[in-house]
Amino acid sequence: MPNPPVVLVFAGHDPSGAAGVQADMESISANGCRCVSVITALTAQNTAGFAALYPQPPARLRRQARLLTTDIQVHACKLGLIGNIALVDVIRTVLGSLPAGLPVVFDPVLAAGSGQPLADRAMMTAMRKQLFGLTTILTPNAAEARMLTRRKDIHEAAGLLMQWGCRSVLVTGADQQTQRVNNILFSRDFAPQYYDWERLPGIYHGSGCTLSSSIAAQLARGLDIKSAVARAQHFTWQSLKHGYQLGGGQKHPNRFFDKDAS
């Protein structure tokens, strides 16, 4: 059998398995690719709350990433929780060493699902200056887009994010108080694309990780941005629809829903 496309992930570890690198691995595998990962930070959390963040030392992360990328051909990258401003430059250096044009999906995790901040203004500035110019598609929710840009209007926020270097921006609306979930894909290459999804009952942990990793996998397989985003949204919605309650807090997406059904 031919080797599957490989997605390199930089993300934190969530012990509950709902979000973070485990969510990335499951999503990428379910979308037909192989995940290789560098964990940026350990966390202390469960489905009900977030307690602590333990970032990796920069030298350790640099060594892990260098060994991976000099051995395995990577077809796309996904960035999630970074955890420490010192790691931004390390990640930028790694991305700069990869082939030009490699798709990079960046899910800017600025706060835990329970609300605790995970990135301050200095971190956001470093991300903007060092990573946005290497980003194929940024996937913030509406609150994150506003936080990054200090713009209330989503169209203005997305325009500024692209002005800062992101080629495309998918702003998701699950965090907004709307009857249905409205997502918008902005790009330098085409007019905004609007998506409307049924809002499912309950609160899910790891939906953003699921979506961004699925996009990365589809881009690694050679799909264009529009097709990758459409497929990833469908996969994410199905994962949430078939999700389950393992703990006393937020629900887990079920990223292998099709296998369970069979």
- pLDDT by residue for the chain (262 residues), tens only, comes to 789 999 999 999 999 999 999 999 999 999 999 999 999 999 999 999 999 999 999 999 999 999 999 999 999 999 999 999 999 999 999 999 999 999 999 999 998 776 788 999 999 999 999 999 999 999 999 999 999 999 999 999 999 999 999 999 999 999 988 999 999 999 999 999 999 999 999 899 999 999 999 999 999 999 999 999 999 999 999 999 999 999 999 999 999 998 765 4
Instruction: Specify the CATH number for 6-261; select among 2.60.120.620, 3.40.1190.20, 3.10.129.10, 3.40.50.2000.
Output: 3.40.1190.20
CB count within 10 Å of CB 160 equals: 17
CB count within 10 Å of CB 122 equals: 10
Write down the pLDDT at residue 29.
Answer: 98
Write down the pLDDT at residue 63.
Answer: 97
Cα 95 from Cα 246, distance rounded (Å): 36
CB count within 10 Å of CB 197 equals: 17
Tokens of 56: 């990796």
Query: Which of 69, 73, 40 shows the shortest CA–CA distance to 57?
Result: 40
From residue 261, give the alpha-carbon distance in Å to each of 78, 234, 242, 257, 258. Answer: 28, 16, 10, 6, 5
Cα 107 from Cα 139, distance rounded (Å): 5
26 within 8 A of 18, measured Cβ to Cβ = no
Q: Which residue has the tokens 């942990």?
A: 205
Write down the pLDDT at residue 173.
Answer: 93
For the whole model, what pTM was predicted?
A: 0.96
Tokens of 234: 């469908």
